[in-house]
Chains A and B, each alone.
Chain A
């Protein structure tokens, strides 16, 4: 059995900032990582944690089209991923693209580097240059969301083969050509809503009408880097940004955050709710730290809910309080991404710019507090 206090470290040869959990996989702990190099051929690594030997098994795919800025995995098909990448032409000009790829079948312990099969290239040329991310719809396998500059687009892969055009588009208007920094599907409200972030604002959109549903003005003092919906409790949203804060919002009351945390000392790049125990929240920052937060006060699991009658007589486990549960300092460079595993609710991976991937676990003591 894996010693939970010891992290497993995997080093990539290149710098990297794209990380995704293989969402369709619910047994094994698996992650996709995309590299970022301007000079060498880029790769997608599929990594599996071998808990028996405390090692990482890997599979490598060529991603020759350019450096990967964002990667996401299909929630239904284990072998389908999407990437946002920067393509450099021989004339030394850069263009960003986004595409859906198929990897090979099941984990294969070969060491040879295989190729990805291009499924669809999403046509963003009409929308702008700077593609930030492409996300699969949480349940519908053929739906995707992409943000480009000040536009978000929704794709339906079924509608057309090969190169495909957006079925829906929405855009913000404002002074100085505002650009989205990220976007997310809202897993609630019929899964037809998305949320976007631009500068200091977070907006909710209804994709059926492409109208703004709600708006959080000055969510952060500076740029909002990432947002994440609580997967189990609707209306609740986490955000993080360049002011070093992580904030939790109830999107029905957008004036003030429900909880504000300032645990990092520089930009917070990523925030993620645990899908099973949503009081556990991970944040990663350019201060090279990953922090495991408890947001128990706004969790979908109310205090004492899990405490049964019998255990009430025994030493009652103290319900989790809000605050920092654990601080992970194994990284030496900025940590741009952190993801929970879809296979094991207590495991997560974090990726720093120097190509170091670290798989960590929730500390045992905190785990028991939640389970008992």
Chain B
């Protein structure tokens, strides 16, 4: 059986105009050769992490079919999502749900919350009667910790940001999806409510068997909720593996510096004093050759002018760095072998 959703060697290149005269055009490789399949039957919780310009949101948008790849294919149950017929598209739209960053932008302010929840039920014919629809809404709202009497009949502006984000999750839940792609779902939510939202997502994974692709820049929340992690740098995969391995013992120089730079909520560490082990340089994307991290990397050497493959380390993770060139390269760059593998015991 083909996987639920798979991206095969997808690449996304943005072409920018050259200013007013348009003499030069620049090419930015947002995502370079990304391959990953998500199995529909075994639930998984995978983070795709990266900072601004890493390509994480572009990957999410390609997986959701809202942005076509420049090359490579994204398939839903084996069918190229650019080629799907109406029936297939409908099934895709039900199986794969999206949750975005800004819960304020998603809703039409003139419709009550009820509308947000009844629309998918009608559109996908999920209920046989209005009573059944009401029951489903009731259950979905309670699952995400909202009280129906405090939410239904209200307008979006009458709810808090955290409540609105939970409405989005309840809506996704109504459709009983196989996979939810959540792009920075808590970055606009206050700290005190963030935990509640993440707990909701985690519960959908553990109790309902829904798979997740969690897109974030925040490695602490990634560590909290996910099993596997893919760390991106400038459109390429720097490191991927079990979240415990990658966060606790990062191998790629970029991942190491990234994790070292996170200010931990524990006073008295050397965060403010320790030297940053990274060169502070800006290299235009168009001039990047070989390893994209090399210009900033303190370990960079001659060989880094060639793009390193993903080397498979002994503990089942991969890192794209010549420091590990004694190891075997990951066949076909296919992350499914790492992400799809059962969780390793630590």
- The reply to whether chain A is a binding partner of chain B is no
Give A residues with C-beta under 8 Å from B. none
Give B residues with C-beta under 8 Å from A. none
